[in-house]
A = this chain, B = another copy of it.
Amino acid sequence: MHRAAFRDPTSAQYSAVTTSCVSLNRYYEYMFGSSKRQQLNKRRRTGPSELTELQVLITSPDSDCDGYPSVTSDESCESPLFLYLLYFYRICLETFSQLVFEDDYGAKSVNATQISDFPRFAHRGILLDTSRHYLPIKVILANLETMAMNKINVFHWHIVDDQSFPYLSRTFPQLSQQGAYHPYTHVYTPADVKMVIEFARLRGIRVIPEFDTPGHTQSWGKGQKDLLTPCYSGATPSGTFGPVNPILNTTYDFMSQFFKEISTVFPDAYVHLGGDEVDFNCWKSNPDIQKFMAQQGFGQDFSKLESFYIQRLLNIVTSTKKGYMIWQEVFDNGVKLKPDTIIHVWKGTQLQYQNEMANVTSAGYQTLLSTPWYLNRISYGQDWRGHYKADPQDFNGTDEQKKLVVGGEACLWGEYVDATNLTPRLWPRASAVAERLWSAKDVTDINDAFNRLSVHRCRMVERGIPAEPLFSSFCPREYKGL
């Protein structure tokens, strides 16, 4: 029986299991509605057709279920499901809830089935961007909940960028005080961040924060003097600023303190360090930078200066006992990386990203694909079909190389997205990516996927998530909000 991140319980194909540490109550409501719980508890005697037992055998119990999920968490689950059950806890609930269907009279049933299932890739992520637009905590939590419904297990939190710095740092509170859209209403306090991490942990989702440097840092400069490079217009400073200034010791002092804080606030073993799209024009204009370039013998190759900075940053982060992920440019520039580094591929055409995946794995590094899954790029029609067809292991390479592909991430960059439109834009388009990353390589029947995805989209709608339609259709119970 094939694996899938979402399923249609009335079809012949059953699939998909999650081992997220989730709570029963929530799923009880998803399956049976909130009103029926009391009624069922009261009932002492159950007829032969009522759900009384679910046996779940975990072949490789994850002893770490009360801890934080990690890239090595065992997510497999073998569960001979016998019909009839009343109570069980925390494991396979999402899958089981997807087996429940309702007949025309409102009765809930489950077909007898046996599932043996596990994910294809260990890293199945979604990137949300809280810098171009601030996302209220409510929106983040609702989408974590929806990630769990889709067996997504990584929330890549692109928390700050040029436009705003909503992360409230205990060590450097001026960063958000000056750099957020608003210092009180548009920030993530330590309590907010803790809540997000805990909410995610309870759903088996890792939270990997991204603090992208040396580019994409305009908002950092507002609250941290001398962090950014002063740009020059001729012989005088123009008043504008470029990337992080890589030639000052104060820069590295700041980064040491900052990433020390980050390493304690975010429990995941990895932090994403960015490193993409560094604009060299400001560095080129600055006489002090030019002087430094000459001293170092970099000539006019500013990618060497970028690598100089990144190298020192990586050493700082390594000293905090964290692994790191970086965007592909850092690898492309030849920076020396730790063996456990994950190279995040995001650029180019299909041919180009496949070549990049081949190069990265040929160098022995782990990699993660996002290029085909930029969900912020919208177009008319069913673009999920393209997302569904992309396969992160589809490049020229050995089996050893293919094993270095840890998974992928759907990215929803925030230029045109905020609380008003994020959720329907993300779902169910990200569900197509979720299945590609969960299911077996040979699960590629797109018509079957369309049917299951349609059912799953109405399931999300019924659970209160405004997941948009795939095409002309209806849900038995339409979305009740706006």
Contacts of A480 in B (CB 8 A): 136, 138, 419
Among B377, B419, B473, the residue within 8 A (CB) of A478 is B419
Any B CB within 8 A of the CB of A416: yes
Contacts of A470 in B (CB 8 A): 416
Contact of A481 among B163, B185, B381, B482 (CB under 8 A): B482
Question: Does A181 have its Cβ within 8 Å of any Cβ on chain B?
Answer: yes
Decide yes or no whether A472 CB sits under 8 A from chain B: yes
Q: Does A63 contact B (CB under 8 A)?
A: no
Known: A186-B474, A418-B479. 16 other contacts (CB 8 A): A132-B472, A133-B472, A133-B474, A134-B474, A136-B480, A138-B480, A181-B474, A414-B472, A416-B471, A418-B474, A419-B481, A420-B461, A420-B468, A421-B421, A421-B424, A481-B482
A469 within 8 A of B: yes
| Whole-angstrom CA separation of A416 from B415 in the bound complex | 22
Say yes or no for A371: interface residue by CB 8 A criterion: no
CB distance from A139 to the nearest CB of B (A): 6
Contact with A377, one of B380, B421, B477, B482 (Cβ below 8 angstroms): B380
Q: Is the CB of B465 within 8 A of A482?
A: yes
B421 and A466: CB pair below 8 A? yes
Residues of A365-381 at the interface with B, using a CB-CB cut-off of 8 Å, are 376-381
- Contact of A471 with B415 in the complex, beta carbons under 8 Å: yes
The main secondary structure of chain A at its interface with chain B is loop
| A376-B380, A481-B482 as given contacts; A420 in contact with B476, CB under 8 Å | no
Which residues of chain B have C-beta atoms less than 8 A from A379's C-beta?
378-380
Q: List 23 A-B contacts (CB under 8 A).
A: A132-B472, A134-B474, A136-B479, A139-B482, A164-B474, A185-B476, A185-B477, A186-B478, A378-B378, A378-B380, A379-B380, A381-B416, A415-B472, A417-B468, A417-B469, A419-B479, A419-B480, A420-B424, A421-B421, A421-B425, A423-B482, A465-B482, A481-B482
A108-148 at interface with B (beta carbon < 8 Å): 132-134, 136, 138-139, 142
Is A312 in contact with chain B by the CB < 8 A criterion? no
Q: Which residue of B lies closest to A474 (CB)?
A: B181
Cα–Cα distance between A474 and B164 once the two chains are bound (Å): 10
Chain B residues near A473: list those with CB within 8 A: 133
B378 touches A418 (CB 8 A): no
The reply on A37 being an interface residue by CB < 8 A is no
> Please, which residues of chain B bring their CB within 8 A of the CB of A465?
482
Residues of A within 8 A of B (CB): 132-134, 136, 138-139, 142, 163-164, 181-182, 185-186, 376-381, 414-421, 423-425, 461, 464-474, 476-482
**CB contact between A469 and one of B377, B420, B424, B474 (< 8 Å): that residue:** B420
A377 to B378, CA, bound (A): 10
Collect the chain B residues with CB atoms within 8 Å of residue A414's CB.
472
Q: What's the nearest-Cβ distance from chain B to residue A458, in Å?
A: 10
Give the docked Cα–Cα distance between A357 and B33 (Å): 55
Residues of B within 8 A of A471 (CB): 415-416
Give CA–CA (A185, B464) in the complex, Å.
Answer: 18
Q: Which 6 pairs show the lowest CB-CB distances between chains A and B?
A: A420-B466, A421-B424, A181-B474, A132-B472, A421-B468, A419-B479
Q: Taking the nearest CB of chain B, how far is it from the CB of A276, in angstroms?
A: 17
Question: From A374, which residue of chain B is reached at the shortest CB distance?
Answer: B380
Closest residue of B by beta carbon distance from A414: B472
Are B416 and A468 in contact, CB atoms less than 8 angstroms apart? yes
Residues in B neighbouring A420, C-beta threshold 8 A:
424, 461, 466-469, 479
Measured between alpha carbons, how far is A481 from B8 in the docked complex, in Å? 28
What distance in Å separates the Cβ of A249 from its nearest Cβ neighbour in chain B?
Answer: 33
Which residues of B have CB within 8 Å of A421?
421, 424-425, 466, 468-469
The winner among A416, A424, A473 for most chain B CB atoms within 10 A is A424
